[in-house]
Amino acid sequence: MPAFDVSSVVAELQPTATWAASLLHALARDEVAGRRPQRLTEPHLSTWTRFKGRLTTADFLALVFEDEAVLHQVPFDSGTVGGSIRIDQLPPDLADAWLRDLSSTSLKSPGAEYILEQAKLLGLPTRMARSELHVVKPHQKVLELPGTGGQLAHHIVTTHPGLTLQDNFTIACATWQELTMAGVVALELGAPHTNFVTKVDPDALRDASHPLRQRSFDFVVGLKGGQFRVADQLAIWFPNAKALLV
């Protein structure tokens, strides 16, 4: 069973529950790693218990996400992420179960394994030939196409010293799941913001006037067999970049 199970949630609340579970996992992992003060993982939720009054644990998560959205609109601002996400409709008993089970949940798995788990929760593709990706140097710029939500950027940054998401990458996302994934990747790699994440209609990239088509990239990477099937087409759209689908 997944660490933060959403299988029992009714269909109309699945996006909300999946989004909230993904963010809860990301923040709890950060807290255990010492990158954030303990709020979700504080023993017995002592601070929250003192001040909650009639508020529920679902309200607690909503307040935590709102606070985090100040620096990371993606993935914590549901309005920016889109979809039919309504944090106010998250079932409190589900939030109770998640927080109760945190102490027995593995929050220290290796980075690549954790990103894979998040991608599976969000229903994103995970089978990619990451080893075929180019060697990227610190002065170079990479565009990650819609479809993978920053998973390729995560692999490149963690295998090439001197790179950061905010300096070297633009991550284009088409869905709320991809935007959430890109935000999770940003948190995992300690990015100070998510301004490098942008929502894109893949069909709009056919227009030569699209803002991304006007920018200069050294590499354009994406998912083989996804919405962009032919690397040669990408070479026309981004003539100054090396295009690779994996």
Delineate the domains of the chain, giving CATH numbers in brackets.
11-108 (no CATH), 130-245 (3.40.50.150)
Give just the sign of the alpha carbon dihedral 104, 114, 59, 193: positive
Distance CA 49, CA 149 (A): 36
Q: Determine the residue type at 194.
A: T
pLDDT of residue 2: 52
Distance CA 187, CA 22 (A): 12
pLDDT of residue 1: 41
pLDDT of residue 3: 63
* Bridge partner residues of 170 (DSSP): 143
pLDDT mean values, one per 10 residues, the chain (246 residues): 76 95 97 95 93 94 97 97 94 93 89 97 94 94 97 97 97 98 98 97 93 96 81 87 92
- Starting at the edge strand found earlier in the chain, the sheet holding 197-199 runs 197-199, 169-173, 142-144, 219-222, 242-245
* 191 close to 165: Cβ distance less than 8 angstroms: yes
Distance CA 213, CA 138 (A): 22
pLDDT of residue 156: 97
Which helix (H) or strand (E) segment holds residue 242: the answer is strand 242-245
The torsion angles phi and psi of 178, rounded to 5 degrees, stand at: -65, -40
Give just the sign of the alpha carbon dihedral 153, 156, 159, 161: negative
Q: Which of 233, 149, 240, 236 is nearest to 196 (CA)?
A: 149
